[in-house]
Amino acid sequence: MASHFPRNQSFSFAAFLLLFQLLTVNIITAAEAQIGVCYGMMGNNLPPANEVISLYRSNNIRRMRLYDPNQAALQALRNSGIELILGVPNPDLQALATNADNARHWVQRNVFNFWPSVRIKYIAVGNEVNPVGGSSSYAQFVLPAVQNVYQAIRAQGLHDQIKVSTAIDTTMIGNSYPPSQGSFRGDVRSYLDPIIGYLLYAGAPLLVNVYPYFSYSGNPRDISLPYALFSAPNVVVWDGQYGYQNLFDAILDAVHAAIDNTRIGYVEVVVSESGWPSDGGFGATYENAHVYLDNLVRRAGRGSPRRPSKPTEIYIFGMFDENGKSPEIEKHFGLFNPNKQKKYPFGFGGKRDGKIVIDDFNATNSLKSDM
């Protein structure tokens, strides 16, 4: 069929511009919607919660992870439009697991008293609890605490809006190479499989903390720095039909495969932490952290090779350098200094001069990824 557009080239060009702008807005909105920042409070020099929430809003950070139900932060989040992962601290797990009334009271005080003016999206019941290791004393309480919190949410008909899960780290992965052969360690399966089964039943994602930094710093002989920083110019690892140009996607897909290989069912993954320290350890430099965070923000809004159609939801760790953390390297993950000044020239999208932009990273920075 003959086109009519050549008869009116000005109309054609205007239509093209409109279409391009609409596509650009949709792409940028999708990317913005998938990125958040974790708000840790382990410092004696951090600004008050109301100023922190204002800092989120002024920098167009639309999602937050909060590790405990800090009442000042929850009050400041009212009507902010920021979506929230709300944490149950590990020491609270036993009380919520062993008494359903305790769970109902916790949910009433920290969820229902703020909903819907605080947009709680997930409740993370415990963080990095492992049945083998230093946090093993908490492990028996994670699943019953998750279930009791879920039942309290469900009783109010909000279980489709507020998902209840827990956050794990990737030390639970026994095999991660190649990613398609990802599997959980045998000594954590009896702990983790019932949790995955619950998540499948409840339609909730598994929250996973993903840190290419620790993989790289623990094995720099076999893992190249560009691969860890998203800056490798070409595919580094081929795994059948899947090509991996960065370690983040390889770790993430190893988690996807590990879940699939349990044969329990399909469970989504939310990256509940990822970051790179600017000091305090091998490979922990300002330049490396800048490159990693720049590219992590750019990566948001798209899927992994194994699950390309599902954009990955990512929470950057963390908002501030926290001087109360240990060991030393844990003190240097912040995007901002405690005085609220940016550590890196980054942005999270929004409007500038009437135009929607995806970030404010220095376009002339020679460290920019070749992705």
Hey, which residues does 37 pair with through a beta bridge? 64, 316
Q: What is the 3-state secondary structure (H, E, C) of the chain?
A: CCCCHHHCHHHHHHHHHHHHHHHHHHHHHHHHHCEEEEECCCCCCCCCHHHHHHHHHHCCCCEEEECCCCHHHHHHHCCCCCEEEEEECHHHHHHHHHCHHHHHHHHHHHHHCCCCCCEEEEEEEEECCCCCCCCHHHHHHHHHHHHHHHHHHHHCCCCCCCEEEEEEEHHHEEECCCHHHCEECHHHHHHHHHHHHHHHHHCCCEEEECCHHHHHHHCCCCCCHHHHCCCCCCCCEEECCEEECCHHHHHHHHHHHHHHHCCCCCCCEEEEEECCCCCCCCCCCHHHHHHHHHHHHHHCCCCCCCCCCCCCCEEECCCECCCCCCCHHHHCCCCECCCCCECCCCCCCEEECCEEECCCCCCCCCCCCCC
- Write out the catalytic residue numbers: 128, 273
Of 361, 368, 354, the C-alpha closest to 25 is 354
Asked if residue 212 lies in contact with residue 169, where contact means CB atoms within 8 angstroms, the answer is no
Q: Is the peptide bond before 116 cis (omega within 30 degrees of 0)?
A: yes
Q: With 0-12 CB in 10 A as exposed, 13-18 as middle and 19+ as buried, what is 26?
A: exposed
